[in-house]
Chains A and B, each alone.
Chain A
Amino acid sequence: MTLPNFPAEIRAPQGTLPGVSSFQVHFADHDILTAGDAPDVLVAMNPAALRANLGDLPQGATIIVDTHDFTARNLTKAGYESNPLDLLGDANDPLGAFAVQPVDLTGMTVEAVKEFGLSRKDAARAKNMFALGLLSWMYGRPTEPTIAFLEKRFAKVEAIRDANITAFKAGWNFGETTEAFVVSYEIKPAPMAPGVYRNITGNLALAYGLVAGGVQSGLPVFLGSYPITPASDILHELSKHKAFGVTTLQAEDEIAGIGSAIGASFAGSLGVTTTSGPGIALKSEAIGLAVMTELPLVVIDVQRGGPSTGLPTKTEQADLLQAMYGRNGEAPVPIVAPQSPGDCFDAALEAARIAITYRTPVMLLSDGYLANGSEPWRIPEIVDLPKIDPAFATAEDLTEDGKFQPYARDAETLARPWAPPGIAGLEHRIGGIEKADITGNISYDPANHDLMVRTRQAKIDRIADSLPPLEVDDPSGPPGHGKAKVLVIGWGSTYGPIGAGVRRVRKAGHHVAQVHLRHLNPFPHDLGDILHRYDKVLVPEMNLGQLSLLLRGRYLIDAIGYNQINGMPLKAADLEHHILTHLTHLSEELRAN
């Protein structure tokens, strides 16, 4: 996606409390005819500005507040009885519908420009440029045109020119070092089901989903985690929910994060670890240990641009193959991916269900777009949430001669017994060395290894038996008899953009089907049939074609990728164009035949 240089429009105050001046900046990739109707971000320099502009903001918008001017006096002047910033993150947070970033804009600007010897007032004025620098970082805007503009604008007063440029750069740098992150999620157009709604970001929904996983299974939740963008908010959120029996341990590193979670799972908790791609790389060996010891574990990867440190604040879906294969040996791990911010709640519960039921680590692949994006979410009724049975081993699981068999298996799920310490007679040792079938003792026997490798794979494959049929969105006719010849299949956060793109295509009078995958390992049983029903299968992804590779390998179909790896979400307009192109090709092919 190319974005032209942005014009900064300075406008007169509009419909605000008296005395509040504001200006709107609109970044866009087309000609700007109006300043954006509803802003995505509000920079509130003081309480009055916050109050005056809040009404114009859509839910989920980002608000940057200058904490410096949120003084008691200013709050009173603006009619606030208490400081709304004090309640950030609380249940009754009046700004709960927004992503609020409190920043000491004035303080940092004054500090940044102090070498220019400006009066305090002039120095503080440069905070506008600090804010602009920060916004430029958040929206990935080039800095050169702004600097050129400032050089021209303040050419006459050297100190002011330099102070403004410095403040602008300082704001940009602040964004970079603190990894300020903002996205707005493109919602798939669809009628809203009746119910009570709220706005929710993906990371918040994920944290709630994990709390729900604990409540619905009756297990304490243990999160072992190391801070990393863009996953840290899950750690922050879960650390507030101790009353639900949630323990959070900020570990010394990624490996200790998962290590402590595995320990907690062994001890009978629902072990969880949260991270992003680089963290998954570090945790790989430990995930293998959880595969071998067959302990429940939820591993959350909030994907970001890679490889290496990559683009911490940009979104990408390039960890799918890492989640699928990124371990030594044959180490199958189920993969669950949420499709929208609110869906992170259900996906987390589903990951917990699979982990506990099948005694396995489960990978949940969110991404930066979902994590920080928000959408209206229909709040589920607790009675509608699935119950999860930990089915711990008991003394009744002993054999007739009083032996405990930690690697005997459930006939249906192939899950082994989960026997946390504390029950006499169930003492057993597990570990990373190959286990003998049934007894779990160390075994180097070749035939046993062959059996165990196949059994671990078979256990993961069995999960597909518990999955509901896929929902194919194809209004062109009944399954197998519709007019649509092209199926668009995606996974994860591309659901909204693909849905919007598909709708545009249909609006233009064409037929196209959409299916979206929540389970990437194992695939649902009916996926093969669905894929084979269509002449063309398009696979839009924010990577170089990882799902395409899996689909081709598994179903021997010619999956056609649409791949974008620029750190940005897919765009409905681009997808529409891509789909239409393929529809045209297809009709040409059909005509030629």
Chain B
Amino acid sequence: MTYVISQGCIDLKDRACVDECPVDCIYEGPRMLYIHPDECVDCGACEPVCPVEAIAYEDDLPSESAGYLAINAEVFADLGSPGGAAGAGMMPADHPLVAAAQASA
């Protein structure tokens, strides 16, 4: 089980969630942030601080965001589990679907 970030974060990235995460598992990509599904401990600290309600528990993901469960997972396919976002730095690329997403406003 994991928490998931969805489309609301794209190009917003205010990083409020990052400060809350006790295990430092919210990684930054060029356009949005991603929660590492294996590293997330389901503590729920990130969810209430997101100004655009982009974060949800995987079971509570709204249907229009359902694809983001896979997106948050797939984006780490090459990276593996670095065990901490601070040390890992910015990810080289977004998930292809995110990279291709239209700018929201």
The answer to whether any beta carbons of A and B sit under 8 Å apart in the complex is no
